[in-house]
Amino acid sequence: MAAWLVDAYHERYPSKSGRKHGRSKVQQVLQLHHHITPYQVAIVVSSSSSPSSNTSSSGNELRYISEHLEKDLKKAGLSVFNASHHGGSLDAHCKR
């Protein structure tokens, strides 16, 4: 397991254009091999920063579409993570 984790660890350096915009921080990335990843597909519905956006008709439509997409992908035998079922942002889930 330790060998897989060491092999999956990468440091992503910003491009030259990113440095011009003040984003010179190196990102640490964990890219697991596709045979050992817990999910093959992640469904993340982006919402606006306003808390009332979840009750909007477009938010409900996106949730409806994501649930049907999840159902179809699971029927096809893929492991699916639907972030809308777990609350919070994808970034928060990844940090956990």
Q: CB of 48 within 8 A of CB of 54?
A: no
**Residue-number span of the structural domain to which 94 is assigned:** 38-96
Query: Are 22 and 56 contained in the same domain?
Result: no
Q: For residue 75, count CB atoms less than 10 angstroms from its CB and return exposed for 0-12, middle for 13-18, buried for 19 or more.
A: exposed
* Choice between 10 and 46, residue whose per-residue pLDDT is larger: 10
Coil, strand or helix at 12: strand
Contacts of residue 2, defined as CB under 8 A and 6 or more positions apart, other chains included, come to none
- CA 23, CA 11: separation in Å to the nearest integer? 14
pLDDT recorded at residue 58:
73
On whether the pTM is more than 0.85, the answer is no
- CA 4, CA 86: separation in Å to the nearest integer? 27
Give the model confidence (pLDDT) of 26-76 as tens digits: 888 888 777 777 888 888 776 544 444 445 677 788 888 989 999 999 999
Average pLDDT across the chain, whole number? 75
Number of domains in the chain: 2
In the predicted model, what is the mean pLDDT of residues 66-89?
85
